[in-house]
Structure 1
Amino acid sequence: MVAVAHPFRVHNFRAYWVARLATTLAQVAMVVVIGWQVYDIARRTMGIRDAAIQLGLIGVAQFLPLLVLSLWAGWVADRVDRRWVARGAVALEAGCALTLAWLTWSGTITLGALFTVAALLGVARAFAGPALQALSPNLVAPAVLPTAIALSSIAWQSGSVIGPAMGGYLYAAAPWLPYAISGGLFLLALVMLMLISAVPRAAIRGTTNPWAQMVDGLHYVRRNRLVFGAISLDLFAVLLGGATAMLPVYARDILMVGADGLGHLRAAPAAGAVAIALVFSWRPLRRDVGRKMLLAVAGFGVATVIFGAAGPLLQRWLGPDAVGSDVAPAVLVSLAALFVLGAADMVSVYIRQSLIQLHTPDEMRGRVGAVSTLFISGSNELGEAESGFLAGLIGPVAAVVAGGIGAVLVTIAWARIFPELRRARTFGPPETFEFVPVKEKPA
């Protein structure tokens, strides 16, 4: 038996990993600062609830390009060299970051500019998501793909841990600085992607009609109930339980910890996720993966409820001393809840991505990755919009708590609707499933 090389012993994967870390650092830092700037600018002329709605609209601005472009982006990732698709998307993100750095430095930043750049970032992510997801399995042997996914998640979550604090601290030093640093990180990622050598890719079977090939990705996801159940579970659970959209509101007006505290709040979920990803990179999950994913999503919902309610309840019981500093009781409980939330989400991400990648043929990974990116971004961006709009109606605390309860209810429903998730015992060979792509119609 030939030993399979660890992912970090593969040059292409090492370059990919550094690029993933750099892009995540830059993306998350920018998201934090864009959200803070939008809320800060809007709050000067609007009330808290109207400013929260602006945070929701930022999510919509990022999601609409994904909605429009995802099918095409997935087709491009299966037809064009995936390395060049990712390189182009990262170059666009670098341009967005440097533009915001200049506008902020010159004092000409406006809500319109922030919304425009958010939309352009959505365009970049529409292409980067499926290209990078489809590229990763091409870099390592299938036997170590779950380990590679865990390591890739470490890069992503490490960036998510450091990025928020980096954005908050750099913004406190100079508002333009986090954008400038993000631009540099995107350029570093572009260099790393340029270092990845050519990788093999399977040819698309079936029809040569581009539109039919795009739709094949949707058909595959719909017919493979394990893949469909895993993707849609994340969509609806995170859509309802998207507490992170309200973090600027919690940092400024509920926990009262300011911009530095916002960095800590944003970092806490990613810290929990990194801890779990490190465990999985050392000791991958092997048994009862479907049940563990369902339990993790339910835990995500419970942690969301605790985070949403902890600050107001402890402030009511303990008085003003419960908030206002990093060591205040309400802040510590909120950070702990966010840590658990991130850990639970990482379990779900790890299992879901492993199942999807191992149950999808390489020729369709770009298109299936596009559908997955659309669903995941739908859960994130639309979750932010849902949280913002709901907060405008019933207040931010009620919106977060209701979302967490909704995530638990969705998990219970999905366990019944998709028994394939409960029955997924291992990451082993997929159950018997053959997808027949659309065939060319006879002339």
Structure 2
Amino acid sequence: LSGARQSGLIAGPAIGGLLAVFGRSTVFVATGIALAAAALVAAAALGPTARPTARAGADALVRQAWSPRARRALLAIVVLTIGIGVMIGVYDVIWSLYMRTLGASDFVIGLSFSLFALPLVIATPFAGWASDRWDRRWLAFGSLALTSLIGPIYPFIGSIPLVMTLGVLEATLWSFSEPAMNAFLMEAVRERRGEAQGVVGTALNGAMAVGSLSAGALFAIGPGVPFFVAAAAGIVFAFGAVPALRAAGGRLSAEPEVVSA
């Protein structure tokens, strides 16, 4: 799923840069058409939804309490997610502005987004493989911490090719966070998983909003300021999650498989 989403991030910015030649409104029209087409394909693929039985509806009302380990794991993932969300919110707002200061055109800006997404697609399968074999807690922590350290380098680079090269390295490190975090959360939380994912999603969207709201004002102070603030947020929340990561513990032994007769 991560690879599929990132594939869209590769093609989208490049196509958007080309469409911008025909006017900015063309980009929004084409986006709307693409979303409508995707919705139709999804509706056709999913088919009709089965109505739940009365027994299933009653069972759905039963709320099992999260275990202590599940609560600690959820807390750790929420803290990591806040750091990631702040960084995403800041980058989404200021990246195009930063590239403009380097003299980049619309097409080059779109290309920079595509080149950032490319290693995510390539490295994400390996990141998923690694999260199934190594300690997911420290893969997620290391991904966020190392990615945060790259951000402050951008303001000191004046070459667009070097910026894009650094972006490829940053994206490669970034790719390890989501598979590790998702796998760790789903392994630790055995009940009310949808609710747990909802909590994490709320944390991500809220943090992105905060990052986006502050990014413009920070960029007005200086082009490098948002990168430094985003890096500080990433580091603070990465290390802020360490106590909960340690308390949650590593992976439990695999449950025995049930073999049907």
Which of 48, 60, 63 is the matching residue for 1:204?
Answer: 60
**Cα distance per residue 1:128-182 (max 9 Å; x no partner):** xxxxxxxxxxxxxxxxxxxxxxxx0011111112111211211123322222222
CA contact (8 A) 1:265 1:335 kept: yes
Show the counterpart of 1:357.
Answer: 186
Per-residue deviation at 1:417?
A: 4.9
Per-residue deviation at 1:233?
A: 1.1
Show the counterpart of 2:24.
Answer: 175
Show the counterpart of 1:331.
Answer: 160
List aligned pairs for 1:55-134, cutoff 5 A: none
AA matched with 1:342: A
Per-residue deviation at 1:256?
A: 1.0
Per-residue deviation at 1:334?
A: 1.3
Instruction: Establish whether residue 268 from structure 1 lines up as the match of residue 115 from structure 2.
Output: yes
Show the counterpart of 1:395.
Answer: 222
Q: Measured at CA, do residues 184 and 206 of structure 1 come closer, stay the same or move farther in structure 2, by a change above 3 Å?
A: same
Which of 153, 158, 175 is the matching residue for 1:306?
Answer: 153
AA matched with 2:240: A
CA contact (8 A) 1:248 1:262 kept: yes
Q: Measured at CA, do residues 426 and 163 of structure 1 come closer, stay the same or move farther in structure 2, by a change above 3 Å?
A: farther
Per-residue deviation at 1:223?
A: 6.4
Structure 2 Cα separation of the partners of residues 169 and 404 of structure 1: 31
Q: Measured at CA, do residues 286 and 223 of structure 1 come closer, stay the same or move farther in structure 2, by a change above 3 Å?
A: closer
Instruction: Establish whether residue 293 from structure 1 lines up as the match of residue 137 from structure 2.
Output: no
Instruction: Establish whether residue 377 from structure 1 lines up as the match of residue 225 from structure 2.
Output: no
What are the ranges of 5 or more consecutive residues in structure 2 without an aligned counterpart?
256-261
Which of 122, 125, 128 is the matching residue for 1:278?
Answer: 125
Which of 241, 250, 255 is the matching residue for 2:102?
Answer: 255
Q: Measured at CA, do residues 304 and 293 of structure 1 come closer, stay the same or move farther in structure 2, by a change above 3 Å?
A: same
Instruction: Establish whether residue 243 from structure 1 lines up as the match of residue 91 from structure 2.
Output: yes
Structure 2 Cα separation of the partners of residues 232 and 357 of structure 1: 16
AA matched with 2:162: V
The count of residues paired between Structure 1 and Structure 2 equals: 247
Structure 1 Cα separation of the partners of residues 172 and 206 of structure 2: 21
CA contact (8 A) 1:251 1:257 kept: yes
AA matched with 2:207: S
Show the counterpart of 1:341.
Answer: 170
Structure 1 Cα separation of the partners of residues 94 and 173 of structure 2: 19
- Which range moves more in the overlay, 371-380 or 221-230? 221-230
CA contact (8 A) 1:286 1:427 kept: no
CA contact (8 A) 1:247 1:266 kept: no
Structure 1 Cα separation of the partners of residues 68 and 86 of structure 2: 19
Say which SS state the counterpart of residue 396 (structure 1) adopts: coil
Which of 23, 34, 38 is the matching residue for 1:189?
Answer: 38
What are the ranges of 5 or more consecutive residues in structure 1 without an aligned counterpart?
1-151, 208-215, 312-329, 430-443
**Cα distance per residue 1:222-266 (max 9 Å; x no partner):** 9611122112212124415733321121121x2111211211222
**Cα distance per residue 1:321-368 (max 9 Å; x no partner):** xxxxxxxxx212211222222222221111112222344456x34332
Structure number with the bigger relative contact order (C-alpha 8 A, sep ≥ 6) is: 2
Aligned residues: CA RMSD: 3.1
CA contact (8 A) 2:69 2:188 kept: no
**Cα distance per residue 1:65-123 (max 9 Å; x no partner):** xxxxxxxxxxxxxxxxxxxxxxxxxxxxxxxxxxxxxxxxxxxxxxxxxxxxxxxxxxx
Say which SS state the counterpart of residue 224 (structure 1) adopts: helix
Structure 1 Cα separation of the partners of residues 72 and 79 of structure 2: 10
Per-residue deviation at 1:428?
A: 4.9
CA contact (8 A) 1:222 1:228 kept: no
Say which SS state the counterpart of residue 176 (structure 1) adopts: helix
Normalised to the residue count of structure 1, the TM-score between the two structures is 0.50
Q: Measured at CA, do residues 397 and 348 of structure 1 come closer, stay the same or move farther in structure 2, by a change above 3 Å?
A: same
CA contact (8 A) 2:3 2:121 kept: yes
